[in-house]
Amino acid sequence: MIVILTTGSHRYTHRVLARERRLDVKLLSYEEVFRLRRLPRATYVFTDMDRLGYFELEQAGLLYGQLRRAGLMTLNDPTRVSQRFKLLRQLKREGINDFDVWSLNDAAPPDRFPVFLRTASAHRGVLSGLLANQEALDQAIGAALEQGLPQRELLAVEYCAEPVAPGLFRKLSLYRVGERMITGTCVHDNQWVAKNGVKGIATEALYDDELRMVRDNPHGELLRRVFTLANIDYGRADFALVGGRPQIYEINTNPMLAPPQPHPVKARVESSTLAHENLIAAFAAIDSAGARGHIEVSLHPRVAAGLRRWPRRDIPWRP
């Protein structure tokens, strides 16, 4: 069995795995698990750490330790996973990324422009267009604060993107599941924020290239180093090629997984099917098949008190 832990409102991301007959996957929210005292012996995958509050993150770290000491396979230590700001700053210092990032808590302001504004956690995309100078950045920060966004959450990220064709941007993806690195399909968009993509914009040549990457996994070893630096055992890295070099934008520990979809281009159907099958095989490799019994778990008193002050309600789950 594999138990994937998410926040309650974001467990939909892995439903495709829970419906997969070749796997035994259970989706469990942190809200549920923190109220249980017995858990089945299984592989546990911790996700969504950037969406957890302080007490929830502390308890997730304590739970991770209890599961590890019980001899269970666990992915993503909540106490060690690097969040967005730390990861991007480290990748710049390691010479992997060419762009930098600044927190509003930094002593020094950005010294390179253009930048754009975004949050340190959550997955809401960018908060501004490209900002050419400090004055424009200050105005964007003021607008964000007026909307109620906390200052500690705001990051200024240096722009680093490159079209693969006039007016066409491409975002690449690569998953880590335990020790396996799996290239995913691309997002093609008509703007530098390539988030959801635009239908019909990619050429057949781009889909042929996508299929080659899914088959050959050319960036797997570099991205393995990135995941290792981030202390992330499971997640999806989003990146692009700029000047021929991978530029990593983030690692999402709770990525949206979807089955292959119909597509008019044969190469896209083949690449999405192969990527999905590779993911299924990777999850099968971490499955604690044959594990029996349960283990006792407990809340730390100070964490339990904190959770009682900020209760969350969710559907009860029984192991």
Cα gap 315→256, rounded to integer Å: 21
Q: How confident is the model at residue 86 (pLDDT cuts 50, 70, 90)?
A: very high
Give the number of residues written for the chain. 319
**CATH number for domain 169-286, candidates 3.30.360, 1.10.3470, 3.30.470, 3.30.2310:** 3.30.470
Least confident of 72-86, 102-116, 226-240: 102-116
pLDDT (0 to 100) of residue 55: 87
Q: Same fold for the domain at 100-158 and the one at 169-286?
A: no
pLDDT (0 to 100) of residue 319: 35
pLDDT (0 to 100) of residue 298: 83
Q: How confident is the model at residue 106 (pLDDT cuts 50, 70, 90)?
A: confident
From residue 64, how far is each of 33, 51, 71, 77, 289 by CA, in Å?
12, 17, 11, 6, 20
Provide, rounded to the nearest whole percent, the portion of the chain with pLDDT above 70.
94
Backbone angles phi, psi at 113, to 5 degrees: -130, 160
pLDDT (0 to 100) of residue 235: 98
Least confident of 52-61, 136-145, 202-211: 52-61
* DSSP calls for 292-318: -SEEE----HHHHHHHHHS--------
Q: What is the CATH number of domain 100-158?
A: 3.30.1490
8 A C-beta contact, residue 50 and residue 121: yes
Reply yes or no on whether the pLDDT at 316 is more than 50.
no
Reply yes or no on whether the pLDDT at 157 is more than 80.
yes
- Locate the domains of the chain by residue range: 2-73+288-309, 100-158, 169-286
pLDDT (0 to 100) of residue 317: 42
Q: Which residue has the higher pLDDT, 24 or 312?
A: 24
Reply yes or no on whether the pLDDT at 318 is more than 60.
no
Q: Taking the model in full, what pTM does it have?
A: 0.93
User: What is the mean pLDDT of the segment spanning 269-282?
Assistant: 98
* Residue-averaged pLDDT of the chain: 93
User: What is the mean pLDDT of the segment spanning 138-153?
Assistant: 94
pLDDT (0 to 100) of residue 124: 78
Provide, rounded to the nearest whole percent, the portion of the chain with pLDDT above 90.
85
Reply yes or no on whether the pLDDT at 314 is more than 50.
no
User: What is the mean pLDDT of the segment spanning 177-202?
Assistant: 95
- Classify the C-alpha dihedral 17-18-19-20 as positive or negative: positive
User: What is the mean pLDDT of the segment spanning 213-239?
Assistant: 98
Cα gap 223→245, rounded to integer Å: 12
pLDDT (0 to 100) of residue 307: 58
User: What is the mean pLDDT of the segment spanning 295-312?
Assistant: 67
What contacts 21, CB < 8 A, 6 or more positions away? none
User: What is the mean pLDDT of the segment spanning 113-141?
Assistant: 93
SS (H, E, C) 82-132: CCHHHHHHHHHHCCCCCCCEEECCCCCCCCCCCEEEEECCCCCCECCCCEC
Cα gap 66→44, rounded to integer Å: 11
Q: List, edge to edge, every strand of the sheet that includes 154-158.
A: 101-103, 154-158, 115-119
For residue range 243-269, list pLDDT tens digits in order.
999 999 999 999 999 999 999 999 999
